């Protein structure tokens, strides 16, 4: 190693560390604090019974959507194995929190009693021809292979599409709403802001909707009676509920569900049907499948009072994914849902139907609430006592290793800056939160970093004692110390990796910070300690000094003074 290369290595590290530090400060990244440090509610849910992983993914997406729509600052939604952990900092009412994250994953099939398009939409935006108000955009029809005799014709419109999880805000891109039986909508009663995707609870009352309604051919007697005065729970199958579609362009009043998504087999797939994208799905046989479906379908087909619009809404967690009209009274085997779907919309609908066929039933397993004052106290205490502890260690090192300890202290500072940068960056990009376990891990990791130095310094001492020059000792000492450090750190990394993969909860957070600080230790040892010490050993500075507190007397082995 030439002096030049060592200097470049050292300089490189300093530049990288200072650069990332400055970058993070300029970008305003800061480590975000975990629940136990700033208060909030954490809810852990786990699926019970049979489920498939796609349904679980969808459930996580739904939770994220709902949490995002509420505007909780820095929510953390983590999948740990099958469990879903939702951390909501700053939320102090745990019942609200539980309500927020409770998604059923259950797809309900409900008759549409009333449908209303939100005003101000430009129907031409998506290139679907919508000249006639009654132009069908989505239909449910028998899968052709099994039904030549049946005529797929009728329909009503729909807002095609569950969009992906990103938008829940009303006023998004306009959708082809055609059917809209409600021409004379009164937007005042259904201001978009009142409606989050979570529930329709924001809608002022039923009456408001019924007034706006008056859809042709719908006397809607059922619409008035069954609506409860309170806020209807969208997961209550027997209730008449209010809902909107995923992008908030259409509102619905929905009757009691006649079936769940479990009438279908889990084989829904997006396909090109009759020239456009649609979804093809197979019905289960028997009383829990085709029979249930046909019961509802026949009612909608004849547009009796329980399904005056003739449309059947596919509802997931209170959000209407699609509301196709039914164009035949009875189905055998397969069902096709067609309309003006984009490919991605069809795929999303297929996904919803697949997960609805085997819904994931989440159960709240753990709820943890930490009051903000308690969290803040813990943080302050941890930081202050941590700093005092580290100060004591440094004082001890300074007494023991004298001037060499300065290298150690600078090394710790560099390591701290590096860790701060990484944690800040990950807080911003991956929603990492620093928990109490993490803080403790970092404080303890100071011990590990100090130990690397101690191992090195002790080896250096050994080499010096045998009578080697400082320069030679530094090189040999580092080589053997590096081997030791590498071996020991590998064990720590193994521990961190195993715990991270296999455990849940706070242990997992701890494992992350253990791994991070161990990596930092290795980086500091190789890129900071090595060049610094080797350069120092060659410089005139160290020559002739009582470095390491070693007197000259021991420099000859076993020799007499």
Partner 1 sequence: MSDDNSSTRRGPLGRLYHGETAIDFYGRRHYGFIVSGALVVITAISLFFSGLELGIDFEGGVAWQVPASPTLDSEVARSVVAQNGVEMANAKVQTLKSGELESIRIQVGDQSSEVRSAVQAALAVAAGVDINEVSVSSVSSSWGRTITEKGVRALVVFLILVSLYIAWRFEWRMALAAIMAMLHDVLISSGIYSLFGLEVTPATVVAFLTILGFSLYDTIVVFDKVKDNMERFSASRTGIADIVNVSMNQVLMRSLNTSLAAVLPVISLLAVGSGVFGAVALREFAVALLVGLLIGSYSSIFVASPLLTVFKERESHFRNLRGLHASGAELEHMVVTGNATGSKKVRRQTEVDTGSSQASPVAPGSPLTHPPRPRKKRRR
**499-528: which residues touch partner 1 (CB under 8 A)?**
499, 501-507, 510-511, 514
Q: Which one among 77, 208, 342, 393 touches partner 1, defined by CB under 8 A?
A: 393
Site for partner 1 in 347-366 (CB under 8 A): 363-366
d(CA 155, CA 143) in angstroms, rounded, equals 15
End-to-end, the C-alpha distance of the chain in Å comes to 35
Of positions 73, 396, 541, 545, contacts partner 1 by CB under 8 A:
396
Q: Which of residues 425, 444, 522, 523 is near partner 1 by CB under 8 A? A: 444
Nearest alpha carbon to residue 64 among 160, 167, 145, 150:
167
Measured CA angle at 447 (ends 443, 448), to 5 deg: 110
**Where does this chain touch partner 1 (CB under 8 A) — which range of 130-138, 284-292, 340-348, 383-391?**
383-391
Binding residue for partner 1, selected from 60, 63, 121, 397, defined by CB under 8 A: 397
Residue 152: phi and psi, rounded to 5, are -80, 105
Of 346, 304, 344, the residue nearest 324 (C-alpha): 346
Q: Is 311 helix (H, G, I), strand (E, B) or coil?
A: strand
**Structure-token match 């590990």, residue found:** 448
Among 16, 169, 382, 425, binds partner 1 (CB under 8 A): 382
Q: Any contact of residue 92 with partner 1 (CB under 8 A)?
A: yes
Task: Using CB under 8 A, pick the residue from 377, 413, 539, 546 that binds partner 1.
Answer: 377
467 binds partner 1 (CB under 8 A): yes
CB of 506 to partner 1, least distance (A): 5
Contact 433, 34 (CB under 8 A): yes
Q: 251 or 401, CB closer to partner 1?
A: 401
Given the complex with partner 1, which of 127 and 558 has the nearer CB atom? 558
- Rounded Cα gap, residues 218 and 181, in angstroms: 9
Alpha helices for 431-505 (secondary structure H): 436-466, 470-502
User: Any contact of residue 83 with partner 1 (CB under 8 A)?
Assistant: yes
CA 554 remoteness from chain centre: 61
36 near partner 1 (CB under 8 A): yes
Contact between 447 and partner 1 by CB under 8 A: the answer reads yes
Q: Is residue 68 classed as helix, strand or coil in its secondary structure?
A: helix
* Calpha distance 37→490 (Å, rounded): 30
In the complex, least distance from residue 97 CB atom to partner 1, rounded to whole angstroms:
11
Q: Is 149 helix (H, G, I), strand (E, B) or coil?
A: coil
Residue 441 in contact with partner 1, rule: CB under 8 A: yes
In angstroms, give the least distance from the CB of 207 to partner 1. Answer: 31
Which of 146, 207, 385, 479 forms a contact with partner 1 (CB under 8 A)?
385
Among 24, 33, 46, 47, binds partner 1 (CB under 8 A): 46
Residue ranges in 530-549 that form contacts with partner 1 under rule CB under 8 A: 543-544, 549
Judged by CB under 8 A, the residue of 370, 405, 423, 534 near partner 1 is 370
Closer residue to partner 1 (CB): 319 or 439? 439
Q: Say which residues have a Cβ less than 8 Å from residue 293's Cβ, sequence separation at least 6.
A: 109, 259, 263, 283, 331, 335
- Does 73 participate in binding partner 1 (rule CB under 8 A)? no
Binders in 265-324 for partner 1, by CB under 8 A: none
Span from 111-119, 207-215, 256-264, 386-394 in contact with partner 1 (CB under 8 A): 386-394
Q: How far is the CB of 505 from partner 1 (least distance, A)?
A: 6
Distances (CA, A) of 304 to 132, 182, 243: 24, 18, 21
Q: Tell me which residue has tokens 């014709």.
A: 153
Residues whose CB falls within 8 Å of the CB of residue 321, separated by 6 or more in sequence, listed in order? 107, 161, 162, 245, 246, 314, 315, 348, 349, 352
Stretch that binds partner 1, among 62-70, 122-130, 421-429, 494-502 (CB under 8 A): 494-502
DSSP state of 118: P
């Amino acid at each position: 190693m030439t002096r030049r290369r060592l200097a470049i290595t050292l300089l490189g590290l300093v530049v990288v560390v200072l650069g990332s530090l400055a970058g993070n400060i300029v970008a305003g990244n800061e480590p975000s604090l975990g629940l136990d440090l700033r208060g909030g509610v954490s809810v852990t849910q786990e699926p019970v019974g049979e489920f498939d992983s796609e349904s679980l993914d969808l459930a996580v997406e739904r939770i994220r959507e709902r949490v995002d729509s509420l505007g909780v600052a820095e929510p953390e939604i983590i999948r740990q194995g099958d469990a879903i952990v939702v951390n909501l900092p700053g939320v102090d009412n745990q019942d609200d929190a539980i309500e927020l994250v409770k998604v059923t994953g259950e797809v309900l099939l409900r008759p549409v009693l009333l449908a209303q398009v939100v005003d101000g939409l430009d129907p031409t935006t998506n290139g679907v021809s919508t000249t006639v108000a009654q132009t069908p955009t989505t239909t449910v029809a028998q899968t052709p292979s099994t039904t030549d005799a049946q005529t797929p014709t009728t329909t009503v419109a729909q807002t095609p599409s569950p969009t992906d999880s990103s938008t829940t805000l009303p006023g998004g891109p306009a959708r082809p709403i055609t059917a809209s039986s409600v021409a004379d909508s009164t937007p005042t009663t259904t201001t978009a802001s009142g409606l989050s995707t979570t529930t329709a609870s924001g809608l002022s009352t039923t009456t408001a909707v019924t007034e706006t309604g008056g859809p042709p051919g719908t006397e809607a007697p059922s619409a008035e009676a069954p609506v409860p005065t309170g806020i209807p729970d969208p997961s209550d199958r027997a209730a008449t509920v209010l809902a909107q579609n995923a992008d908030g362009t259409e509102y619905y009043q929905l009757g009691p569900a006649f079936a769940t998504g479990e009438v279908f087999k889990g084989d829904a797939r997006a396909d090109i049907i009759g020239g456009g994208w649609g979804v093809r799905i197979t019905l289960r046989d028997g009383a829990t499948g085709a029979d249930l479906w046909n019961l509802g379908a026949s009612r909608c087909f004849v547009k009796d009072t329980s399904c005056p619009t003739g449309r059947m809404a596919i509802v997931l967690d209170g959000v209407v994914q699609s509301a196709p009209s039914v164009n035949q009274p009875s189905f055998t085997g397969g069902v096709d849902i067609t309309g003006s779907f984009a490919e991605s919309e069809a795929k999303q609908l297929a996904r919803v139907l697949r997960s609805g066929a085997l819904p994931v039933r989440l159960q709240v397993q753990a709820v943890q609430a930490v009051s903000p004052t308690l969290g803040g106290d813990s943080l302050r205490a941890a930081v202050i006592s941590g700093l005092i502890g580290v100060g004591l260690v440094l004082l001890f090192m300074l007494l023991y290793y004298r001037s060499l300890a300065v290298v150690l202290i600078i090394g710790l500072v560099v390591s701290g800056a590096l860790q701060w940068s990484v944690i800040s960056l990950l807080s911003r990009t991956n929603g990492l939160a620093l928990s109490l376990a993490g803080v403790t891990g970092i404080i303890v990791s100071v011990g590990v970093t100090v130990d690397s130095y101690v191992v090195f310094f002790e080896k250096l001492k050994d080499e010096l004692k045998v009578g080697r020059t400082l320069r030679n000792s530094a090189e040999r000492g580092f080589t053997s110390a590096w081997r030791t450090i590498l071996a020991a750190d590998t064990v720590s990394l193994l521990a961190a990796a195993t715990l991270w993969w296999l455990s849940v909860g706070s242990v997992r957070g701890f494992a992350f910070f253990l791994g991070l600080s161990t990596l930092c230790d290795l980086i500091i040892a190789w890129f900071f300690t090595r060049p610094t010490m080797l350069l120092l050993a060659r410089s005139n500075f160290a020559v002739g000094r009582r470095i390491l507190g070693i007197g000259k007397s021991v420099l000859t082995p076993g020799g007499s003074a």
